[in-house]
Amino acid sequence: MSTSNRRPWLILSICCLSLLVVGIDVTIVNVALPSIARGLHGTLSDLQWTVDAYTLVIGSLLMASGSAADRFGRKRVFQVGLALFTLGSLLCSLATSVTALIAFRGLQALGGSMLNPVALSIISNTFTERRERARAMGVWGAVFGISLALGPVVGGVLVTSFSWRAIFWINIPIGVAAIVLTRLFVPESKAGTARRFDPWGQLLVVVMLVALTYAVIEGPSDGWGSPLNVAMFAAAAAAAASLVLVELRREQPLLEMRFFRSVPFSGASLIAVAAFGVLSGFMFLNTLYLQEGRGYSALHAGLLTLPMAAMICVFAPVSGRLVASRGPRLPLVAAGLATAASLALLTRLSDATSLPYLLGCYVVLGIACGLVNAPISNTAVSGMPNSQAGVAASVASASRQTGSALGVAVAGSIVAGAPAAGLASASHAAWALLAACGLVVAALGYASTTRRALGTAQRVREMLADEAPGPAADPAGSGREERVHDTAVNGPRRPGA
């Protein structure tokens, strides 16, 4: 292979380094939560904020970071993101209080918001040929699965062998290497027509998510009917209503409200919230159960969840093939039903539940998580104009992060105040709620892929087509002009579908 032919794959490898550290960070922190609580004398709500400070910042800034990269240069923004993520990781490892750790997690997430969406744009810009781009995306998906699998085990080893601070050390050499390699080998690229920054939309998104998460996390301790908690719920509702009004009037809004007229898009956004709320809520509760309720070490807890991560690795590419051949309905409905089944079994959880029973639940949930991710983006972009597909996928990614934040907040609030010995029984209501979310995924997976639903997507496509920039607007072929074909996305049409 010539040097010119190797260069795109070198760029892909560099981008995958950012995915590796961000993906590992999703699971590695959960394993360390009990150790963090002991080391910094943190409460349950402190642990929730340690996780949610990260997901909230990423979810709030994901779309803005993608727009910034298109405007100021993808390489430049990617390097800034790597630097902030690496610096945030270093500061997290040095934190002397829970408050400081939460603040540094926010800084880490600020950098993280500039990594994955920008890396995807770099990859799309580098691999312009359709088949090569598909191969590159396959590698990208595999790295994400590997990072999820590595997180619990690597985190368990580091916490057991050193301390919880070591889970942040691992990001530093990888981040520094990625910064140097990006400077040397990744070319700069920009979009021909970049979207304008929407400060009011961005502010309202932050207020809505932060206020809602605060109310859910702090409700058990402050009192659900306390003036502050009621004010937070009211602020979240007011911000949501204002966001709709403001975004409908902007020429280039942060969040294109007209997308939601497409049933597939709306369904995919809700599925992302529900599915990733389940995943994050499970990881948070399960870590507390295994380490606090059962007394396992961080390493033992990480090893027990390895079968789940392995199933994610195995079934993620299976889901992609199913979407290509049959459309998104089958993997979405199967994922929802598998989620509901596995978590319904956990409603019988006790301090003496056998390990084979637990592992069986983990395996089924891992299959569900592996199946659900690929069709979310495909369903979200179904019927969108080519130039809007990347924006639609960014909204779906933000929905994933929003679901992750809410999953931790809700699951943690349900078990708040439960002693370690009673954690298993206290978690039953949380498992039942998460199982219900699985049923929601299955129902929405079916409803958003019917013939009538696809018709709404086609109408949105036609409405936006005249406003969409042509191919000349972005000759580099950025991820914001991802090509989407109805047959590839939705599978062959069948009578009554």
Is the pLDDT reported for residue 493 higher than 90?
Answer: no
* Mean pLDDT calculated for residue range 83-94: 97
Is the pLDDT reported for residue 326 higher than 90?
Answer: no
Is the pLDDT reported for residue 489 higher than 60?
Answer: no
Instruction: Using pLDDT thresholds of 50, 70 and 90, give the confidence band for residue 252.
Output: confident
pLDDT, residue 76, reads: 94
CB burial of residue 109 (10 Å; 0-12, 13-18, 19+): buried
pLDDT, residue 431, reads: 98
Which of 10-19, 73-82, 118-127, 245-254 is predicted with the least confidence, judged by mean pLDDT?
118-127
* Gyration radius from the chain CA atoms: 22
pLDDT, residue 383, reads: 64
The CA distances from residue 153 to 123, 142, 283, 359, in Å, are: 29, 18, 14, 16
- Mean of per-residue pLDDT scores for the chain: 86
- Domain chopping of the chain, boundaries: 1-187, 199-249, 260-497
Query: Where is mean pLDDT largest: 136-145, 184-193, 343-352?
Result: 343-352
Is the pLDDT reported for residue 297 higher than 90?
Answer: yes
pLDDT, residue 492, reads: 42
* Mean pLDDT calculated for residue range 197-213: 94
The C-alpha atoms of residue 367 and residue 363 are separated, in whole angstroms, by: 6
pLDDT, residue 117, reads: 79
Q: Dump pLDDT digits (tens) for 155-181.
A: 999 999 999 999 999 999 999 999 999
The CA distances from residue 254 to 58, 97, 460, in Å, are: 15, 35, 18
Asked whether this chain's domains 1-187 and 260-497 adopt the same fold, the reply is yes
* Mean pLDDT calculated for residue range 188-195: 74
Please state which of the four CATH numbers 1.20.1250.20, 3.50.50.60, 1.10.1040.10, 3.30.565.10 is assigned to the domain occupying 260-497.
1.20.1250.20
The C-alpha atoms of residue 250 and residue 130 are separated, in whole angstroms, by: 34
The C-alpha atoms of residue 32 and residue 53 are separated, in whole angstroms, by: 16
Is the pLDDT reported for residue 473 higher than 80?
Answer: no
Q: Dump pLDDT digits (tens) for 436-461.
A: 999 999 999 999 999 999 899 888 88
Backbone phi and psi for residue 426, each to the nearest 5 degrees, phi listed first = -65, -25
The C-alpha atoms of residue 242 and residue 258 are separated, in whole angstroms, by: 15
Candidates 328, 299, 301, 293; CA nearest to 420 is: 293
Is domain 1-187 in CATH 1.20.1250.20, yes or no?
A: yes
Q: Dump pLDDT digits (tens) for 4-51.
A: 567 888 998 999 988 888 888 877 899 999 999 999 999 999 999 999
pLDDT, residue 390, reads: 61
Q: Dump pLDDT digits (tens) for 377-413.
A: 777 766 666 666 667 777 888 898 899 999 999 999 9
Is the pLDDT reported for residue 491 higher than 80?
Answer: no
pLDDT, residue 160, reads: 92
pLDDT, residue 261, reads: 92
DSSP string, 264-287: HHHHHHHHHHHHHHHHHHHHHHHH
Which residues, at least 6 apart from 28, have a Cβ–Cβ distance to it below 8 Å?
151, 152, 154, 155, 158, 167, 170
Is the pLDDT reported for residue 496 higher than 60?
Answer: no
pLDDT, residue 485, reads: 35
Angle (CA) 64-370-283 rounded to 5° is: 75
